[in-house]
Amino acid sequence: MAAPKFIEIKQHLTELIEQGSLAEHAKVPSENALAAQFECSRMTARRALTELVEQGVLVRSQGQGTFVASLKSQGSMLTIRNIADEVKERGRGHRVQVLAKTRLAADTEVAIALGLSPGTEVGHTALLHLEEGLPMQLEHRYVNLALVPGYLEQDFALQTPHEYLSQVAPLTEAHHEVEAVVVDTATAELLQLGPGEPCLRILRRTWSRSGAVSFARLTHPGSRYRLGGHLVMDN
């Protein structure tokens, strides 16, 4: 018996990704195109794309389409925490060093994450979070200025981006990707790492009711940071 059409579509797209025909961050065919190709309804094509998104194979960007997800990514259900709160809860001092605060043109990855066209101007901040003077997180954050026009006017040495964005664009949805990385020399120096010391990197996208607000790359020294969570399952 032939497989259902949505499974055929999923298998077809997965094979293209595995073969390299659809590269990381490449745009996949639309629901209409897939429906025509496989002679099925648009709803069937949508089901195939939705299931691949839920599996972390694809990622949707509102208004832009569906794209191949990062091949190293791993979905995670985690509480959104402000690192300043984490440090203070340990009874230690938190301080922020502002490294950069500027406007720049969104590259492909940032544009997909924020649902924008490549080249759209976004706000970018680079912050080094320290715990008792020791680097704990390097935060590169890209913000949709159409939704948060006052972002770059804030003093992030006094209030973290997480705190500010929670006030002006309350979080309704978030997505995490977590990976282990060995960083470049400049990042290693900022985080005061030894040669070849691994890091934990979190890629975080957040949404408000108005749309995608921010995309952040959060890099932590592997020897100083642990990521955990607790889930309560229904019986």
Condensed to tens digits (0 to 9), the pLDDT of residues 78-135 reads 456 778 887 787 778 899 999 999 999 999 999 988 988 899 999 999 999 999 899 9
pLDDT (0 to 100) of residue 79: 58
Closest CA to 38 of 2, 91, 1, 77: 2
The CATH number of whichever domain residue 144 belongs to comes to 3.40.1410.10
Q: Are 79 and 174 in contact (CB under 8 A)?
A: no
pTM beyond 0.95: no
pLDDT (0 to 100) of residue 80: 66
The CATH number of whichever domain residue 16 belongs to comes to 1.10.10.10
Q: How many domains does the chain have?
A: 2
Same domain, 50 and 12: yes
Q: Are 175 and 150 in contact (CB under 8 A)?
A: no
Q: Are 178 and 202 in contact (CB under 8 A)?
A: yes
Give me the domain span that covers residue 120: 75-221
Same domain, 9 and 36: yes
Residue 190: inside a domain: yes
The torsion defined by the Cα of 80, 83, 89 and 90, in degrees rounded to 10, comes to: 130
Residue 227's pLDDT band (cuts 50, 70, 90): low
Residues 6 or more apart whose Cβ sits within 8 Å of residue 217? 139, 140, 141, 201, 202, 203
Residue 231: inside a domain: no
